[in-house]
Amino acid sequence: MPLTIAIPKETHKLEKRVAATPDSVRKLLELGYRVVVESRAGSQANYSNDAYKEAGAEMVSAAKLYPQADILLKVNGPEKRTDLDGKNELDLLPKDATFISFLQPALNEPLLKQFAKKKINALAIDAVPRISRAQKMDALSSMANIAGYRAVVEASNLFGRFFTGQITAAGKVPPAKVLVIGAGVAGLSAIGAAKSMGAIVRAFDTRPEVKDQVKSMGAEFLELDYEEDGSGTGGYAKEMSKAFIDAEMALFREQAAEVDIIITTALIPGKPAPKLILEDMVKSMKQGSVIVDLAAANGGNCELAQADKVVTRHGVSIIGYTNLPSRLAAQSSQLYATNLVHLVAELTPGKDGELIINMDDEVQRGATVVHQGKVTWPPPQPASPPPSPAAEKKAVPEPEPEAPAVKAKPKNLFSGKAMIGYWAVAGTLLLLLGSVAPADFVHHFFIFILSIFVGWQLIWNVKHSLHTPLMSVTNAISSIVILGALLLVATPDSTLITVMAMVAVFVTSINIFGGFYVTHRMLHMFRK
């Protein structure tokens, strides 16, 4: 019998998102699960009960939902249900159930122990490793993308002018100047939104590798005259040295007096948010300026920010909303639900409605924080790659021998003498082949060998430009193939050759036109 996935209504203050949408319900059903949704669970995200029913979900009351939940999908961690005698959701779930939501395991050790005590498996969607294979499950990036966009919307609501510059009969309006601190997913989203509205955008990040990303979006990347790499693990920034922070604060103090809007996104996982905008910087800002602090939930990057409040200090509005994605509830729910579907699909290898947690899988092991009554957070560190021979030699010097030892040198298979031998053998084989093979065969074989050398030189000298190197190589191969096919397509003596040539033209055309289509899409991404 398939397991039951339950979707309760979120009861957290100001939370409007829901962990499943009608679209995601259909995909969960395709994985073989039975899906039950609490009545009005998606009402605040504009998803009606009827929409869930049409998708195939069963609508039930909260009292009936929890006892039958084999898997509970939520946005937030377990909460008390005042409508169910104030009981915690963990007390309402059956033993061995699986709970999947945002859990912040690095900051919630007591909560993990509660899961273990109740024998309930817990998977933290925010602990999914940030690797290429797991991008489709990266709910942190999905929500950060929305938060960055919404930060600009909130700032524009309180800012008293246009973002774009205008020259009108009534006078000239200068463009707004926006500073984005932190160029991660949220920061890049904020840069894109502010730039599209016509603002002059500047950005700062401690990680030098994001410089090109910032510039590609049309923003100015602010750099310090101080060399230190802020790249940490998992795509996050790391904590910087005091000297770097001093130089950084001097830059922010200078920028605060110039810009109209500051959006801060700086967070270090498992630690309070670093204080980057101090009171004297706020005081130096122009009247009517706005600060949006996306780190307010962890203490804030601005020392005057207050969680879930908008405060005005020294004529500057400081926005400290901690749940900006909830202010775009329908879009956030759709993206988050899709992330959950991908995670559940990983846990359902047979697509038969049976959830299997594979602790040997890197993604599943990283997300699983409690398993079979045991806290499994943090996951083991991935094994380091073996050091190169040069590094080993440098790290562990060989002791000096008492007497010089004569060491046998490994044979070089591609030395000059070896290559002469290879050519001699190849030439001999060709002479023997030519003495017994028909003349036509030798002629065509010679052309074949020449085509290999010419083709190799042509293909590997193609510049990939906007294509990936792999795409450029495959397109080059396809171009050579299609030229040969076009020469053979009108062969008068063989219908078979003509048909095969036409098939070759058709197949290679798909690859060539596909490459141009991808290039067009890439160019469109960077078009203003």
Residues belonging to the active site: 130, 135, 138, 141, 236
**Strands 80-81 and 34-38: what pairing?**
unpaired
Dist. CA 8–CA 18, nearest whole Å: 8
CA dihedral 47, 51, 55, 61 (to 10 degrees): 80
Helices 185-196 + 139-158 axis angle, to 10: 40
The CA angle 297-269-308, to the nearest 5 degrees, is: 5
Dist. CA 416–CA 389, nearest whole Å: 25
Dist. CA 363–CA 345, nearest whole Å: 12
Overall residue count recorded for the chain in this entry: 528
Backbone angles phi, psi at 215, to 5 degrees: -65, -35
Question: What are the C-alpha distances in Å from 450 to residues 420, 438, 443?
Answer: 20, 19, 11
- Which residue, among 62, 45, 56, 100, has the nearest Cα to 78 in the 3D structure? 100
Residue 37, SS3 per DSSP: strand
* DSSP designation for 357: -
Query: Alpha carbon 316 to chain centroid distance?
Result: 34
- Which residue, among 471, 467, 479, 472, has the nearest Cα to 508 in the 3D structure? 479
Residues 375-404 as b or e (16 or more Cβ within 10 Å = b): ebbebeeeeeeeeeeeeeeeeeeeeeeeee
Dist. CA 125–CA 74, nearest whole Å: 10
Backbone angles phi, psi at 50, to 5 degrees: -60, -35
Question: What are the C-alpha distances in Å from 20 to residues 28, 33, 41, 43, 366?
Answer: 9, 13, 9, 12, 23
